[in-house]
Amino acid sequence: MPTEPRSTDADMASTGFLNEDVHDGDHDASSIQAVMINRPRSELYAFWREFRNLPLFMANVRSVSSDGRDWVIAGPGGMDVELETEIVEDRPGEKIAWRSTEAADVDHEGWVEFRDNALGRGTEVRVMISYDPPAGAVGKLVAKVMQREPRIQARRELRRFKQLMETGEVSTSQAPGAAPRG
């Protein structure tokens, strides 16, 4: 039986998204990443839009409320950080965008887009995350050292999303019972 090609960084750098209106965030730490997933666009959107599914492939996300408003993420030193967001755009089957509310402790924004692949094979999924790290430049450096900065996180989360949607599980190399890696 032929095996599927493994996801590589080349898979993440899609040229299928040429939006002039796309920006890479207004915050100190930002990233845009993309991947092609061999599943229908409507299925991928529906899975992502059920926000409680996000911890299944986002290693640093502990929980998300069903309305997408309240997030609990793993913070530095094992402390959880609570984020409050609002959905600012929701185009079924195409795009979900969010940003922090005035009450949020961490200023952030992001979006996920779903587009049919131009060659008719699967869906291109593109994610932008942007936030101001707690503790400013020091927090940004700590995030980079701990491999929790947006570029690395988005790439890993998209890779896990691809695995989950194409195979039904997220592969891992960690030992059973070991702490999850981000």
Q: Tokens for 41, please give them.
A: 């666009």
Determine the structural domain holding residue 40 and report its residue range: 22-50+87-167
The pair phi, psi for residue 112, each rounded to 5°, is: -135, 135
Structural domain includes residue 15:
no
Evaluated on CA atoms 27, 29, 34, 40, the torsion sign reads negative
Structural domain includes residue 11:
no
Total structural domains in the chain?
Answer: 1
Structural domain includes residue 109:
yes
Q: Which residues on neighbouring strands pair with residue 126, listed in sequence order?
A: 34, 113
Residue reference for tokens 């100190």 = 28
Name residues whose C-beta falls within 8 Å of residue 133's C-beta, 6 or more positions apart in sequence. 28, 29, 106, 139, 140, 142, 143
For residue 155, give the H/E element and its range: helix 150-167
**Strand ranges across the sheet with 61-64:** 29-37, 123-131, 108-116, 95-100, 80-91, 70-74, 61-64
CA 161 to CA 169: how far, in whole Å? 9
Check which CATH number belongs to the domain holding 106 and give it. 3.30.530.20
Structural domain includes residue 78:
no
Structural domain includes residue 101:
yes
Angle formed at CA 69 by CA 49 and CA 47, multiple of 5 degrees: 15
Residue reference for tokens 């592969």 = 171
In the chain, what is the greatest distance between 2 CA atoms, to the nearest angstrom?
A: 53
Q: pLDDT 10s digit of each residue in the chain, 182 long?
A: 444 434 333 344 444 443 434 444 444 456 788 999 999 999 999 999 999 999 999 988 899 999 999 988 887 667 788 889 999 999 999 999 999 898 877 788 899 999 999 888 899 999 988 877 654 444 444 444 444 555 677 788 899 999 999 999 988 765 555 555 54
Structural domain includes residue 117:
yes
Structural domain includes residue 7:
no
- For residue 34, the tally of other CB atoms under 10 A from its CB is 21
The overall pTM is greater than 0.75: no
Indicate the SS3 state at residue 133: coil
Structural domain includes residue 43:
yes
